Amino acid sequence: MDTAGKHWLIEYHGCDASTLNDEPHIRQSLCDAAVASGATIVTKVFHRFSPQGVTGVVVVEESHLSIHTWPESGYAAVDFFTCGDCLPERAHEVLRVALNSTHADVLQVDRGQGGPGQSVVVHEVRTETPAPMLRRTPTEHTSWNQATG
């Protein structure tokens, strides 16, 4: 079986505190992101911390998606780790809109690529910034530009 996977580590900044503390919204958004990427959901687990913050993991047949939010900092740390034909960029499109963040730092890593010494490869690091006038509510789509970080 092919072990090759695509792992996107994303730092979403400038998000609304209330959005990052809304566990049902975070849960639905991460599930929507999983489906958008082409993954098949196996199970999921979410937890809301006191006084604030949400952690969630969606286990998919093709690995997992996870989120940890710090509402007080407008920040969320997200991972999309998918194997096979899944497209983590699709999950990213969904979640950046759902979180309505102003900036995202994206680290793309290739995993399971080969034998020891070559199986994990840093593919790209970049910062994405949406044009301010195009920033939308979570229900709308946003056109983003990419700037190399």
DSSP 8-state symbol, 134: G
Is 116 one of the binding residues for its own copies (CB under 8 A)?
A: yes
Helix (H, G, I), strand (E, B) or coil at 138: coil
- Cα atoms found within 13 Å of the Cα of residue 133, Cβ hemisphere only: 0
Q: How far is the CB of 15 from its own copies (least distance, A)?
A: 12
Residue 59 found at the interface with its own copies (CB under 8 A): yes
| Least CB distance to its own copies at residue 32 (A) | 19
| Least distance from its own copies to the Cβ atom of residue 83, Å | 8
Q: Which two tokens stand for residue 114?
A: 């080969």
DSSP per residue, 53-92: -EEEEEEETTEEEEEEEEGGGTEEEEEEEEETT--HHHHH
Residues that bind its own copies (CB under 8 A): 1, 3, 5, 7, 9, 11, 13-14, 42-45, 47, 49, 53, 55, 57, 59, 61, 63-64, 66, 68, 70, 72-73, 75, 77, 79, 81, 83, 102-107, 109, 111-112, 115-120, 122, 125, 127, 129, 149
